[in-house]
């Protein structure tokens, strides 16, 4: 088995640089290099099979800028550019992928069940808004209990202010963040710290500004449409090389940047009716590249389809992706604790929904969705618990609110701590959004800095229309204004309030428990969920082999309640509570004639460990 090597774009060799590009739309193609302060050294490329053009240029060395000239007139950046130092419209730059001195040879990655994800946006995570700024915070994240960073997209986008989903150069790390070397330094430092790095990649569309792929070949199709325009051509005529472009990109991040996983954005907007679905092919190829490198690499899907096919094994007719973001858990917890019922929240809001999300993976698993006006989803009981990623906040669920409110802006302190406990004591892989762990007061807003004034106006108008269904259209900050971006930057210097310190303590305690309690490792324990819809409490029982059983109880009511369970007999010791410890019993006794029960204050979560269980009921996961 050999490791993956990129052969398109600019490839440095000992005698110069070879250039190769797939461009079936071109009649002629030239590489144009700098000459006399501009571009004038023209090198004709030779057409090879399948519309691919190639040429070797001895004088083109590392750091040289270049463009492709189509049909003798149109100068374009390289579709496989590794570096765009002059922005999305400017020249590409030759990069030697072997020049960086990696020190992570012994790094093997993080097993899926050990993932505790921390999603961050490079531009607003630190004052510098760079990969170097992230490096400064790695010790903090390690000490917090995080095991993997998940970066929002970093492919070169227009300007310097963007979420990253408008990227148009999938192979080029954003120059304003630090470019190729900056990202490599960050990954290398993360591995040295003991943290994995997962990258959000966008294969369902490219951004609207600086997207020149269609000039080179049939990368897009009008057969399908996405919320962002024409779909990527994964199954039409001449789609083989389009597929190769994105498959190469996925393997490139794993091989050249030593990344530990990819989060594929909105796979429900990827259309492919061929026999070998592009998602399965990407997963297969990434896993093969990881095996050749002897590393653990995760392929994670974002999907709103509630379709277990993404996660099922190949033998089970699935794509064998490693994990999936679970929106249903977020929607259930959010709707219950905030009381919001607009938009997609109309399908959620009860304690039963939260309990279902904890037990059955999906809430909508074939039943009727009022929001969609149809049945939605399918049952996923056969999918292991460690294949689902849950959260109470992420970039979408915060940033796609008109005012970018975090959950701390919407509910009480006790309710926020309860939400954190539901997520971090769930039987799934947890994800924390940057700043969530200490109740950051900064919003996370939507921002862009396109160079096209008409496009900026279209974005401004589109955001207002988007929120009309939620009744938020009058509260939309200007996405083009720089202050919208700066308002979203985390403040690390201002002393935290007492409320923030208390919340930070809750997160640290919960993350410590996830590391120390074997029964809390996703997939390691049998899990049973009980609840009372009227009294609004939930109990999760965990029983792992050769480990003390655990019992987590949550009161989602605004009144005191008494959750009860016919769980294991024995003496249960409290190991965590979100409320004042004086109001929660330190021990709970359970016998055959006396069920496990505990009195909980409103909006409280607790965890008990049974150190001397005498009759542990076997629980199926």
Count other C-beta atoms under 10 Å from residue 183's C-beta: 26
Q: How many Cβ atoms are within 10 Å of 580's Cβ, its own excluded?
A: 9
Residue 302 is among the residues annotated as catalytic for this protein: yes
Catalytic annotation present for 265 = yes
Calpha distance 144→138 (Å, rounded): 10
E strand or H helix at 390, and its extent? strand 388-390
Distance, in Å, from the CA atom of 417 to the CA atom of 432, rounded to the nearest integer, reads 13
From CA 221, how far away is CA 16, in angstroms rounded?
37
* Parallel/antiparallel/unpaired status of strands 74-76 and 9-13: unpaired
CB 32 within 8 A of CB 19: no
Report the DSSP beta bridge partners of residue 221. 231
What distance in Å separates the CA atoms of residue 387 and residue 311, rounded to the nearest whole number? 7
Phi, psi of 108 (to 5 degrees): -120, 0
Per annotation, catalytic residue among 150, 175, 302, 437: 302
Give CA–CA dist 203/318, Å, rounded. Answer: 19
Distances (CA, A) of 620 to 267, 381, 384: 31, 11, 11
For 189, residues 6+ apart whose C-beta sits below 8 A from its C-beta are: 135, 138
**How far is 399 from 387, CA to CA, in rounded Å?**
25
In sequence order, which ranges of 339-412 are alpha helices (DSSP H)?
351-360, 395-399
Which burial class, exposed, middle or buried, applies to 492 when counting CB atoms under 10 A from its CB (0-12, 13-18, 19+)? middle
The active-site residue out of 65, 166, 265, 281 is 265
Q: Which residues are catalytic?
A: 265, 302
């Amino acid at each position: 088995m050999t490791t993956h090597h990129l052969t398109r774009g600019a490839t440095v060799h000992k005698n110069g640089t070879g250039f190769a590009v797939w461009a079936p739309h071109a009649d002629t193609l030239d590489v144009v290099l700098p000459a006399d302060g501009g571009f004038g050294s023209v090198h004709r490329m030779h057409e090879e099979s399948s519309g691919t053009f190639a040429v070797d240029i001895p004088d083109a060395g590392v750091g040289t800028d270049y463009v492709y000239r189509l049909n003798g007139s149109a100068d374009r950046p390289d579709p496989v550019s590794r570096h765009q130092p002059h922005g999305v419209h400017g020249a590409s730059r030759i990069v030697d992928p072997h020049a960086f001195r990696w020190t992570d040879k012994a790094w093997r990655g993080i097993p899926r069940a050990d993932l505790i994800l921390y999603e961050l946006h490079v531009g607003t995570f630190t004052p510098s808004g760079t990969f170097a700024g992230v490096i400064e915070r790695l010790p903090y994240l390690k000490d917090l209990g995080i095991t993997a960073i998940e970066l929002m997209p970093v492919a070169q986008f227009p300007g310097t202010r963007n979420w990253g989903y408008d990227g148009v150069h999938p192979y080029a790390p954003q120059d304003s963040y630090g470019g190729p070397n900056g990202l490599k330094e960050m990954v290398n430092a993360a591995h040295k710290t003991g943290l994995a790095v997962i990258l959000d990649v966008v294969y369902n569309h490219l951004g609207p500004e600086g997207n020149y792929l269609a000039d080179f070949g049939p990368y897009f199709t009008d057969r399908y449409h996405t919320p962002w325009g024409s779909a990527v051509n994964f199954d039409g005529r001449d789609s083989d090389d389009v597929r190769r472009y994105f498959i190469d990109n996925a393997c490139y991040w794993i091989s050249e940047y030593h990344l530990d996983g990819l989060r594929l954005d909105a796979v429900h907007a990827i259309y492919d009716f061929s026999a070998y679905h592009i998602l399965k092919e990407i997963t297969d190829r990434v896993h093969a590249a990881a095996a050749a490198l002897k590393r653990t690499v995760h392929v994670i899907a974002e999907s709103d389809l509630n379709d277990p096919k993404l996660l099922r094994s190949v033998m089970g007719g699935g794509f064998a992706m490693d994990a999936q973001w679970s929106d249903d858990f977020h929607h259930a917890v959010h709707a219950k604790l905030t009381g919001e019922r607009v938009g997609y929240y109309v399908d959620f809001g009860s304690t039963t929904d939260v309990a279902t999300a904890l037990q059955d993976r999906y809430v909508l698993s074939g039943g009727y969705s009022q929001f969609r006006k149809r049945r939605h989803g399918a049952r996923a009981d056969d999918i292991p618990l460690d294949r689902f990623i849950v959260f109470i906040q992420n970039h979408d669920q915060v940033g796609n609110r008109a005012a970018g409110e975090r959950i701390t802006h919407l509910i009480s302190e006790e309710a926020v701590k309860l939400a954190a406990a539901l997520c971090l004591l769930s039987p799934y892989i947890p994800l924390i959004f940057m700043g969530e762990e200490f109740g950051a007061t900064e919003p996370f807003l939507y921002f862009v800095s396109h160079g096209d004034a008409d496009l900026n106006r279209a974005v401004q108008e589109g955001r207002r229309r988007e929120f009309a269904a939620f009744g938020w259209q009058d509260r939309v900050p200007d996405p083009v204004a720089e202050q919208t971006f700066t308002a979203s930057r985390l403040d690390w210097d201002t002393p935290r309030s007492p409320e923030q310190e208390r919340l930070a303590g809750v997160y640290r305690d919960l993350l410590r428990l996830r590391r120390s309690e074997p029964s809390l490792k996703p997939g390691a324990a049998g899990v049973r969920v009980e609840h009372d819809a009227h009294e609004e409490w939930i109990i999760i029982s965990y029983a792992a082999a050769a480990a003390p059983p655990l019992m987590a109880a949550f009161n989602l009511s605004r009144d005191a309640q008494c959750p009860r369970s016919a769980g294991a007999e024995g003496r249960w010791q409290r190991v965590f509570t979100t409320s004042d410890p004086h109001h929660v019993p330190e021990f709970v006794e359970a016998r055959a004639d006396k069920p496990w029960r505990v009195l909980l204050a409103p909006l409280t979560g607790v965890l008990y460990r049974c150190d001397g269980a005498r009759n542990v009921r076997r629980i199926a996961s």
